[in-house]
Amino acid sequence: QVQLVESGGGMVQAGGSLRLSCAGSGRAFMLYNMAWFRQAPGKEREFVASVTRSSGAKDYGEAVKGRFTISGDNAKSTIYLQMNNVKPEDTAVYFCAAKTLISANYSNWGQGTQVTVSS
């Protein structure tokens, strides 16, 4: 099991930037593929970005492509989500998630951090 703690959420004006962090603890953090999801009030959870450990490949949801960047610092067991040119529709609770290298589903989740974008 890996424990995940998000931070960095807050309020930001449209067009601004914000960086979210997800600190992992527990054994073998490096053996987990990582992702960010978000959920806005009254909406289903939405995929934001992911990174695959073995290849380093990164994937992004259509709504955030070209604006958000996922990255990691292995020495700190932390992944980041750099959010640029944010829009009011980016307002949501953002969750960090992890899955083992052989798993199809994300089974480890953080508690979430609120991001609010004002127009």
Mean pLDDT of 105-112: 95
pLDDT in the model for residue 27: 62
Q: Quick: pLDDT tens for 22-71.
A: 999 866 677 889 999 999 999 999 999 999 988 889 999 999 999 999 99
Q: What does residue 70 show for φ and ψ, rounded to 5 degrees?
A: -100, 140
Judged against a pLDDT cut of 70, whether residue 76 lies above it is answered with yes
Mean pLDDT of 3-17: 97
Mean pLDDT of 4-9: 96
Identify each DSSP E strand in 45-112 by its residue range.
46-51, 58-60, 68-73, 78-83, 92-100, 108-109
